[in-house]
Each structure stands twice: as C-alpha cells, then as structure tokens.
A and B are shown apart, each in its own frame.
Chain A
Amino acid sequence: MKRLAEQDYYNLLEISPKASFEEVRSAYDQAISIYATDSIATYTLFTQKEREVILSRLAEAYKTLTNSQLRKEYNHLLIERGERSPQEIGFSSLEDSNEARGKLLEVSVESLTQKQQEAKDEALPSNTNLSLFDSQISVTGKIIKTIRTTQEISLEEIFKQTNISRETLEDIEEERFEKLPALVYLRGFLKAYANILQVNQTEMVDGYVKRYLEWKNTYRK
C-alpha cells in the first residue's frame, strides 16, 4: 500500500491507464473536490503539508495525462520501471504502439482534404489511440456497434457521458439515416461517440458521414 503521493498517476486519479482525456479531466475534478484545503469531506484527515503534496501531485498527473506526448513518455517510464505492463496501457508492445500511431497519421493525412486537415490537427492531441478502422472503407453503424459492444460499453453509459439520447445512438448504429439530425449535429455526436470508444475521431466521423452522404444523395434528390 503506497503512500498517496507515491502512487502512480493512474492510481492517484483512480482511472484506468486507457482513460480518455475527458475521463482524466473529470477524475481530476473529483479528486480536487476531495483533497482541496476547504474540502469538508477530508476535514482533519490530512495535515496542510500532506494536502499540498497531494494537490501538487494531482496537478502533475493532470498535466501529464492530458498531453499526448507527456503521457506517452510517462507510460514508457512506467513500463520500464515494471510498474505497469504494456497490456494495461493498451499497447501490445512499445514498437506496435509507435507503429500504429505512425500508420494512423499516414492514413489520416491521405484521406483528408485541406480543410479537414486543419480541423484534424486540432483534433489530434485529444485522441492518440489505435485506429480500428481501415482507412479506405466507410464506417458502418454495425462496425461502430461492434466496437462498442466489444468494449462492453452500454448505450446508457454513452448517454451519461455525452448526453446524446439513446434513440439517436441507436439510429446511428442501425443506420436509420432518415432519423438522424442535421449534418453539423451528426458530426458532433459522432466525434463525442468516437472519443468514448477511444477510436480516431476523424476516421469514424468521416467514414460514417461518407455513408450518410451517399444515402442522402441517392434518396433525397
């Protein structure tokens, strides 16, 4: 049982090493509300000195885990120290992770227009996980559903984290295109959905929208 200040960042925040940036954020907010100086919930549990150590460590943890480069380096450090296994972190090996990331970048760049490239450059830091999509095929609702169920995430959980209604999520998965909202909303939903599933946002959004637009052009002339 390690001293609070010596637990690794994931343990400290009580999150899985595969947690998304949003999960890190909300874990950090939760931790601050527990350990902050004026927190009633831990009144007298810590000395002021202990609190300061904990809070500064939490800040370090947040900064590191929400920056893809720093996080990657930190993960490597943990693996090198033997404190975490590569499987826990989500890579089958360090080389695979770098390779996958490399592929991701190549593939994404190829399939994008200039405008989308800019948008994607903004989006990149927020999601560095493995790409589960083959770049050339469009992304079907069925694929999205499979990714979700493989990770054992329920629609309820997606709703809780994104506020997208279950009906809409089902419409997306079942490709009930006629029921889907306007494209601008659909993109937003898909982006949030992709984030929860920890897959490349741009690929999922573009891949699905491609199908949607194909349908739209065919049926709604």
Chain B
Amino acid sequence: MIEQGQINKPKAVNNHILAIGGGKGGTGKSLITASIGICLAARGNGVLLIDADLGTANLHTFLGLEPPKLGLSDFVSKKESTISGVITKTGVNNLKLISGAKDMIGIANLSYGQKVKVLNNIKKLKYRYILLDLGPGISFNILDFFLISHCGILITSPEPTSIENTYRFTKGLLFRYLRKTISKKVVRSIIDNGIRQRNGHKFESIFDLMETIEKIEPGLGNTISRYLSTLDIKLIVNQTRTSKDRSIGQKMAIATKKYFGIPIDFLGNVSYDNKISKGLLQKKPLMAYLPHSRVFNELTEITQKISPRYQLGFGFSTD
C-alpha cells in the first residue's frame, strides 16, 4: 500500500511478487517473464503471470495463447468485479495468467486509485510466485509497482542504449522512493529540482544529492542508505552474443552498488538465439521449440537462483 510519505513492503505471506521491468522495449522482458514462469511452474510452484504492460501487452503471445477473453483492464474498469475473475489458464500445469491483452484506450494510464486497487488485490492472491511484467518505460506507475514488489528484476540488453535506460530506471527508482518517503518540503523541492534539473541545481551524482539532503536533515541520508541496501533487485542481460557482452552484467552490478549504494544481484546472461524470432512466428512458448538449447539452460539456471529451495520435480507448493 503506497501511502503518502511511506512505502511499505508487503510481507511475503500469501505469495512472492517479482516485478520485471527495465527501461527499454524489446529487451525481452515478456519472453523472459513467460519462460521463468514456465520453469518455476515446472518445479511444482503455483505461478501467476500478470501482464501489467497495459497498452502493449505481449505475455499471452509468448505463451502461445490467443488473446484471452478477459484481462486486467476488465478488472480495472469494473466490468469484472474480482481479480480472480480475470485469471485464465495457460495450458501449462501450475501456471495461470492475467492478460493485458484486452486493450482499452486510456488504460495505459492507471489513476492512483486504480493502481492501489490493483496492488491490494494482487497481494491477496495465493500463488507461490506472482510475476508482474511491467513493460518498458519509467512512469511512476511502473516504478511504484517495482518498489512495492518483494523482488525486482531488471532486464537489459548489451547495447549502450539499453544500458543507459537501465541506469535511468535505477535513478528513477531512487528519486521515486525519495520523493514518496520524504515529507519535508525543502528536501522535496531539492529532489524535484534534481529531477527536473532547473534553477542551475543539477546534481552531478547521487552523492551530491545525498550530501545536500544530509546537510538539511542530518541522519536522513543514513536512513535512505539503509533502505536502499534492503532492496532486492536483480539483473539479467539478455541477447548476449560475445564474451564482452557476457561480462557486462557483473560490471553493472558492481558499479551500481558502488555508485547508488543499491545492491544488484546479477542473475546471469541469456544468449541471443535467432531461432527465437522464428519460434515467435509459430506462437509457441520457448520451451516447445528450444528445449535443449543454451538459452533454455541459462533460463533454468536463472530460475534456480530465484527459487533455490525447490528441487526440480520435488513436491508441490504448499500455501
């Protein structure tokens, strides 16, 4: 629940919510979300995928499904009264979907009230894992969904533009968090100025900002640092081709930790595979056409890192 001046992380009682985001479109968020979802489900976990990429929803395609009849927009617009009412099957055991496919004009911009309603309802759902595909961009809604989840996964590709957007996303998260938790007007205006970069008050680095805040409100800097170190953010680099590409993720994790004080867990690389775009044409899930591929192995390893407690094939989730 995002209350004014406070962001409370939900306790992992009913479920474990993973948000998948990253500034740029086309980096592979939906494909990876669908694939990780399938892997987790195959390990016996109850998994719900939610396509929160309203307006440009693709998750159903990566699962090999036709656009479902009901989607998240129906719940938001109150056509469907409960969120459970818009959950659909995927044809994969243990895996369910709330699609974003039923696009409604204007649905891409959720109001504050609508956003809160969606979040509150998601938190009550009983699945071991809930994966939120947030789509591209750094709008406030996306950042808020990311901050409110138990764990956020950033997807980037090895291109400079994608990396730039990943850092923008991280900065956006930081500013969004600061903006929401700090009530002191003076500090807020500093942050706003930092974001908008006017009044000649451009912060060259996060440290400049933190130092300024610390001067005005001593102790606040520490509180912020402590919160930042509790964030659970992970990084996947998708579409890697060369060994140079594959070295980027670890470096980004180190630099982000050193620069922002935000610990980023590098989960791994997913290789580029030209069979994927062909497979998409057939609208099949990745596992169906690349079962023994390098990509499949990489995704399996990544999934293992996300859910280390569950052994392949062992038992079913108990909630």
A residues touching B (Cβ–Cβ < 8 Å)? 1, 3-4, 7, 14, 33-35, 39-47, 49-50
Contact = CB atoms under 8 A, between A and B. Distances in A.
Given A47-B205, A50-B204, A41 B255 contact: yes
Contacts of B158: 40
B159 to A, nearest CB: 8
| Interface size, B (range) | 20 to 34
B160 A45 contact: no
A43 B163 contact: yes
Contacts of A1: 210, 225, 261
Contact of B255 (A3, A7, A45, A49): A45
Nearest to B244: A40
A46 B252 CA distance: 12
Contacts of B204: 47, 49-50
A14 B244 CA distance: 21
B164 interface: yes
Interface in B237-256: 244, 247-248, 251-252, 254-256
Contact of B163 (A14, A33, A44, A49): A44
Contact of A43 (B160, B210, B258, B261): B160
B258 A44 contact: no
B251 A39 contact: yes
A33 B251 contact: yes
A42 B205 contact: no
A25 to B, nearest CB: 17
Contacts of A34: 251, 254-255
Q: Which one of A1, A3, A4 has the greatest number of beta carbons of chain B within 10 Å? A: A1
A7 B261 CA distance: 13
11 contacts: A1-B261, A3-B205, A4-B207, A34-B251, A40-B160, A41-B248, A43-B164, A43-B167, A44-B167, A45-B167, A45-B255
Interface in B196-218: 204-205, 207, 210
A39 B251 CA distance: 10
B15 to A, nearest CB: 32
Contacts of B258: 4, 7
Interface of B: 158, 160, 163-164, 167-168, 204-205, 207, 210, 225, 244, 247-248, 251-252, 254-256, 258-259, 261
Given A40-B160, A41-B163, A44-B167, A50 B205 contact: yes
Contacts of B164: 43-44
Nearest to B224: A1
A7 to B, nearest CB: 8
A211 to B, nearest CB: 42
Nearest to B204: A47
Q: Which one of B160, B167, B204, B251 has the greatest number of beta carbons of chain A within 10 Å? A: B251
A46 B255 CA distance: 10
Contacts of A44: 160, 163-164, 167-168
A115 B264 CA distance: 52
A43 B157 CA distance: 13
B225 A42 contact: no
Contacts of B244: 40
B52 to A, nearest CB: 26
A40 B163 contact: yes
Contacts of B254: 14, 34
A47 B225 CA distance: 22
Nearest to B159: A40
Contacts of A47: 204-205
A42 B251 contact: yes
A91 B59 CA distance: 58
B197 to A, nearest CB: 13
A30 B248 CA distance: 11
A47 B259 CA distance: 12
A134 to B, nearest CB: 42
A33 B247 contact: yes
Given A14-B254, A47-B204, A47-B205, A41 B259 contact: no
A61 to B, nearest CB: 14
B22 to A, nearest CB: 15
Contacts of A33: 247, 251
